[in-house]
Amino acid sequence: MSSESTEGQRPALRVGLIGYAFMGAAHSQAWRNAARFFDLPLRPELAVLCGRSEQAVRAAADTQGWSDWETDWKQLVARDDIDVVDICTPGDSHAEIALTALAMGKHVLCEKPLANSTAQAEAMTAAAEEASRRGQRSMVGFNYRRIPALALARQLIADGRLGTVHQVRAQYLQDWIVDPAFPLVWRLRADRAGSGALGDLGAHSIDLAQYLTGQRVTGVSGLLETIVPERPLPEASSGLSASGGTGRGPVTVDDAALFTARFEGGAIGVFEATRFATGHKNAMRIEVSGSHGSLAFDCESLNELSFHDRDEDLRTAGFRRILVTEPTHPYMSGWWPPGHLIGYEHSFTHQVKDFVEAIAEGAEPRPSFADGLQVQRVLTAVTDSAAADSVWTAVAGGS
């Protein structure tokens, strides 16, 4: 599917990105920089950026380095000069765009969570598996998997350094909507976002817990809370409302989510995702404890991994701080000398690296749409449990 670029260069992989705001900007930087730091078999080409506002998308395309722009995603997907469709839109449009792109013969990268419902995620997964037989590749954008410290954590667990995994503790703490005057943006509407803190933040924690341990979540007991049930409409808060700027609307998603879980290997877990942890900006934390040791990570200390080996001499045993910046650590060989830190945006660059390599090799990238479907099933089980007074609920497809 790649087009040949000028003689002597590697084949181009022509990318069409739908969405140019927060996630779109992060993805743009990743597509722009990946081949500059990693020896990729294909050369990503920023071909087309898509957004609904012509003025805004033109400005974003110029700023972020895209060659062309569209205001209709269907026009982008239908173009012959696009190999990859990258979806960075609200969840309500993921399924339609992905299904259309796969039917048009494109590779697809889709932001998390995969969809707004399990049914949509099932349809997307089935289409991706069919497209895979035609040589198309699909991946879900769980970028935290690509943080070197977390990739190292997975290696250590897979190597048996923790022994038998007993417990997982995962938190995702933010405070960006603590102010009740914050407007009713799309992330606070179930018809657009699917769910609130659970899907937006908790999806990352669920994916990481399963990725690190290699075990699926099979059952949950959940509690969801909407702390501020009504907010100003966006046009009202900006003073643009024709009626004088007093309009308000209901918040139809959760502000905070709590749930306990059991994994297929017998481990237990406790999860928290909230946008009301006052004072926390992006504290995505996860700890895994086993019979021989523990690992702990906090995104606000992104280059560090805490590791405890229970088999060490008790006189000196304890959690040690590993600065994950050595060239032997995952992904770090493409960056700076040891001790020179990388940031949040680099996880997206690593995501592009892995996706491009999978496309070139004809391999199945991870996390796959099937992985995204598994996370969606956990989200659905938590929602169903919370609606039934926290009754224990099996995850569909679990053992």
Among candidate residues 146, 298, 314, 326, the one with its CA nearest the CA of residue 306:
298
38 and 56, same domain (yes or no): yes
Q: Which residues of 82-117 are buried (b: 16+ CB within 10 A; e: fewer)?
A: bbbbbbbbbbbbbbbbbbbbbebebbbbbbbbbbbb
pLDDT given at position 397:
87
DSSP-H helix ranges across 281-368: 344-361
Among candidate residues 261, 290, 53, the one with its CA nearest the CA of residue 164:
290
202 and 88, same domain (yes or no): no
φ, ψ dihedrals at 14, nearest 5°: -90, 120
- Bridge partners for 273 per DSSP: 172, 257
pLDDT given at position 3:
45
Return the sign of the alpha-carbon dihedral for residues 90, 43, 369, 386.
Answer: negative
**Cα angle 357-361-365, degrees, rounded to a multiple of 5:** 60
351 and 204, same domain (yes or no): yes
The reply to whether 310 falls in a domain is yes
CA distance 155 to 162: 11
118 and 156, same domain (yes or no): no
Of 126, 142, 158, the residue that ends a domain is 142
pTM listed for this prediction: 0.94
CA distance 244 to 364: 53
Q: What tokens does 169 get?
A: 């503790």
128 and 215, same domain (yes or no): no
135 and 148, same domain (yes or no): no
The reply to whether 272 falls in a domain is yes
CA dihedral 26→78→140→254, nearest 10 degrees, is 80
CA distance 281 to 284: 9
The reply to whether 398 falls in a domain is no
99 and 180, same domain (yes or no): no
pLDDT given at position 237:
55
131 and 80, same domain (yes or no): yes
Residue 50, domain CATH? 3.40.50.720
The reply to whether 6 falls in a domain is no
238 and 291, same domain (yes or no): yes
**How many residues are there in the chain?**
399
319 exposed, middle or buried (CB, 10 Å; 0-12, 13-18, 19+)?
middle
Q: Per-residue confidence of the chain (399 residues) as pLDDT tens digits?
A: 444 444 348 999 999 999 999 999 999 999 999 999 999 999 999 999 999 999 999 999 999 999 999 999 999 999 999 999 999 999 999 999 999 999 999 999 999 999 999 999 999 999 999 999 999 999 999 999 999 999 999 999 999 999 999 999 999 999 999 999 999 999 999 999 999 999 999 999 999 999 999 999 999 999 999 999 999 999 755 544 444 456 999 999 999 999 999 999 999 999 999 999 999 999 999 999 999 999 999 999 999 999 999 999 888 899 999 999 999 999 999 999 999 999 999 999 999 999 999 999 999 999 999 999 999 999 999 999 999 999 999 999 865
245 and 280, same domain (yes or no): yes
Instruction: Give me the half-sphere count of Cα atoms (radius 13 Å) on the Cβ side of residue 352.
Output: 31
The reply to whether 240 falls in a domain is yes
Is residue 11 within 8 A of residue 5, CB to CB? The reply is yes
- Looking at the structure of the chain, the number of domains it has is 2
- Helix (H), strand (E) at residue 230: strand 230-232
CA distance 105 to 166: 43
109 and 252, same domain (yes or no): no
Of 113, 142, 171, the residue that ends a domain is 142
Pairing of strands 256-263, 268-274: antiparallel
The reply to whether 7 falls in a domain is no
The reply to whether 161 falls in a domain is yes
DSSP-H helix ranges across 214-263: 234-237
Of 119, 142, 165, the residue that ends a domain is 142
Please give the residue range of the domain that contains residue 61: 12-142
CA distance 130 to 115: 18
Q: Which residues contact 244 (CB under 8 A, 6 or more apart)?
A: none
The reply to whether 389 falls in a domain is yes
CA dihedral 191→195→196→202, nearest 10 degrees, is -150
Q: What tokens does 231 get?
A: 């907010």
Neighbours of 36 (CB within 10 A): 10
Residue 348, domain CATH? 3.30.360.10
pLDDT given at position 244:
47
CA distance 389 to 224: 10
284 and 354, same domain (yes or no): yes
